[in-house]
Structure 1
Amino acid sequence: MTVALSSVLVAATGVVTAALAMFISFHDLVLLFVVLIVASGVAFGAAWQLGDDIGAGAEQVGAYARTIVGRDGSVSAERAPSVTGPGELAALARDLADVSSRLELSQRRERALETSRRELIAWVSHDLRAPLATIRAMAEALDDGVVDDDSTVKRYHSQVRSDAERLSALVGDLFELSRINSGSLRLGREKVDLCDAVADALAGSAAAADLKGVTVIERLAALPSVDVSARECCRALDNLLDNAIRHTPAGGTVLVRAAAEGGDAIVHIEDECGGIPEADLPRVFDVAFRGDQARGRDDRGGGLGLAISRGLIEAHGGSVTVVNAGTGCRFTVRLPAGGGR
């Protein structure tokens, strides 16, 4: 208020001084003083009101800013209050609300990543410990001569090799996932016929399907070419097919459909796993997620395959989603024709 009052007094003093120097008549001087008094009163009142509104608005914005972050460090994305005063303060409150919303979203993602990291450590620790214990026990049995007949020794060697390959695959998955999450994954792009990539993935999964007793049916229509890394794209499809075959019971069917839609290449992979609880669907692609016991009882993987598939597909500018369909799930891969980015 002091600034407003000083400004009004300085302006009035200047006008009076100039008027006296110009030899204005006494009548004109009186009128000038009347106009100055009225104008000064109106200006001071307006300045007082504006300053009061600004002060109240600034206090409201400050109070709102203090509620954004709680004492425990959590961010609360409350709706911006109705702020009195200039529009700039209201705009500032809206900006603060937008920032708090983004901070809350970031915190939720950070908590989800932390939960995922802990689950990953727990799953990997379990998956490493089991084959290592088997390898150690069998190696000790072979070294101590506990088993000496050829058939048993051969079986032990086969089991050691199988567990070593399992460990190698798990370490490879961890390395691939770390490259995806760190942003260090570099993709060499080339024109790829997605039907050929799907056919290669089907050929690679044929042995596993036959061993499990699962029938794989393919219905592939003409697809546009996509700019992708053939190796990484095939790996993503391999993981999805492997997941579908592992969770489909013996005698079941896995259906693979491909078609063009809206200029994109679409691949659907449908299994007969019995479906996933709706509450678990958003977490299917999370690191180390395996779902309920019924779904995970035969799962010998590290829970990384679907997370890797999503990372690789998204790195190509595409997307992969899952929904319950029929007696199982349908995974849908969408890749933009000509590459995404």
Structure 2
Amino acid sequence: MKDVLLMAAFAFGGAACAGLLGAVALRLLRHRSVAVSLAVVAAVAVAAMLAGTLAVAWAMFLSPHDLSVVTLVAAMAAVVSLATALLLGRWVVARGRDLARAARDFGEGGSFAAPPARATAELAAVTRELAATSARLAASRERERALESSRRELVAWISHDLRTPLAGLRAMAEALEDGVAADPARYHRQIRTEVERLGTMVGDLFELSRIHAGALELTPSRVSFRDLAADALLGADPLARERGVRLCGEDIVHVPVEVDGKEMTRVLTNLLVNAIRHTPADGTVAVRVDRHEDTAVLSVTDGCGGIPEEDLPKVFDTGWRGNSARTPPAGAGLGLAIVRGIVEAHAGRARVHNVPGGCRFEVTLPLAAAST
């Protein structure tokens, strides 16, 4: 037993010396190619075995012939190990270079194309992550282009919508100033109407800018979706009567939500005004509130005749106003974009889909937490 422990000690000492030298070599060569590191590891493994064997052989006073045999066997093992390590290292380096070229092309603005050659599991994982990142960046670039396009259209539409009332205001002001207005009171009323419309447009722009800048400050409180819907219906009733549209709100249940009452009232008002404007006379706008598991769903259904399927994904985009049949006079196309921004700020979702005779806008919000 004592001899076994002694041989183990000599073998460990020789192998430890080789391992220490190998660790120093790896540290000095840590910035070199992985092929060099693999060769060093293979050399350390063989050297550790050889050093341990030689230490035991010298301690046991083996014959020169036996010692030469052991050394020759270790040397052959070293040659095979180093050759294998170098081949593996060159293969890994080649796959790494392929991946680096693909990443460089990806970084220059193109899409990432995975190298065709098979790689190690780690390089394959990096390849998959780069491919996923490329897909996300492509989607982000597409959203950025769409946003930039909508911004250009919005600027053009706002400029057009501002030019018309401003020209009218200027003409009426000049007529009043020159004393040629046949009915000054009517001109004053018209000026006030146009100013109020311009004020509404500026307010929508300001609200949308706060949403896009992430500066929308919410003051949530526990309220009933039914109360919010009832208030919005009451506020939209005069416009509905003026246009001969019936408002229907019987299917409204009590559902508690944690929202900013002022902002959510704006959401419901925008949806109702949008629905009333696009519903013909004698049509119906129906409001419904449902509870689905842990969410509250408010829907506003109009009689607009439906939206083209290709336009449905654009309905909540900034500046979208659809075709002429769905374009209100002087509308800047901001109302539904504001709806989506406020709803998403409440961790909710706004969507639209066609129904027979019209379309249905739905706002989904998480239920309020149970009060303790």
Give the TM-score normalised by structure 2. 0.83
1:291-302 superposed matches below 5 A:
291-296=322-327, 298-302=328-332
Whether the 8 Å CA contact 1:246–1:299 is kept in 2: the answer is: no
2:179 equivalent to 1:133: no
* Aligned CA-pair RMSD: 2.2
Q: What residue in structure 2 maps to residue 39 of structure 1?
A: 77
2:100 equivalent to 1:62: yes
Q: 1:119 aligns with which of 153, 159, 163?
A: 153
2:187 equivalent to 1:187: no
Change (3 A) 1:338 1:215: same
2:135 equivalent to 1:101: yes
C-alpha separation in 1, matches of 2:264 and 2:151: 25
- TM-fit CA distance, 1:19: 7.1
Q: What residue in structure 1 maps to residue 350 of structure 2?
A: 320
What letter is aligned with 2:171? A
What letter is aligned with 2:240? A
C-alpha separation in 1, matches of 2:315 and 2:147: 14
Task: Figure out how many residues of one structure are paired with residues of the other and give that number.
Answer: 331
What letter is aligned with 1:309? V
Q: 1:171 aligns with which of 195, 202, 220?
A: 202
2:310 equivalent to 1:310: no
Q: What residue in structure 1 maps to residue 359 of structure 2?
A: 329
1:248-327 superposed matches below 5 A:
248-296=279-327, 298-327=328-357
- TM-fit CA distance, 1:17: 6.8
C-alpha separation in 2, matches of 1:2 and 1:81: 23
Whether the 8 Å CA contact 2:353–2:359 is kept in 1: the answer is: yes
Q: What residue in structure 2 maps to residue 338 of structure 1?
A: 368
C-alpha separation in 1, matches of 2:56 and 2:119: 37
> If you compute each CA radius of gyration, which structure gives the higher value, 1 or 2?
2
Q: Which range moves more in the overlay, 249-258 or 322-331?
A: 249-258
- TM-fit CA distance, 1:37: 2.6
C-alpha separation in 1, matches of 2:179 and 2:129: 74
Q: What residue in structure 1 maps to residue 47 of structure 2?
A: 11
SS in 1 for 2:270: helix
1:200-215 superposed matches below 5 A:
200-215=231-246
| Structure 1, unaligned runs of 5 or more | none
| Structure 2, unaligned runs of 5 or more | 1-34
Whether the 8 Å CA contact 2:298–2:364 is kept in 1: the answer is: yes
Change (3 A) 1:262 1:36: same
- TM-fit CA distance, 1:324: 0.8
C-alpha separation in 1, matches of 2:159 and 2:319: 11
Whether the 8 Å CA contact 2:223–2:259 is kept in 1: the answer is: yes
- The Cα offsets for residues 53-94 of structure 1, whole Å up to 9 and x where unpaired, read as 112211221122133245xx3x4254x345534322112211
- TM-fit CA distance, 1:33: 2.5
Whether the 8 Å CA contact 1:77–1:104 is kept in 2: the answer is: no
C-alpha separation in 1, matches of 2:67 and 2:119: 38
Whether the 8 Å CA contact 2:103–2:112 is kept in 1: the answer is: no
What letter is aligned with 1:131? P
- TM-fit CA distance, 1:34: 2.8
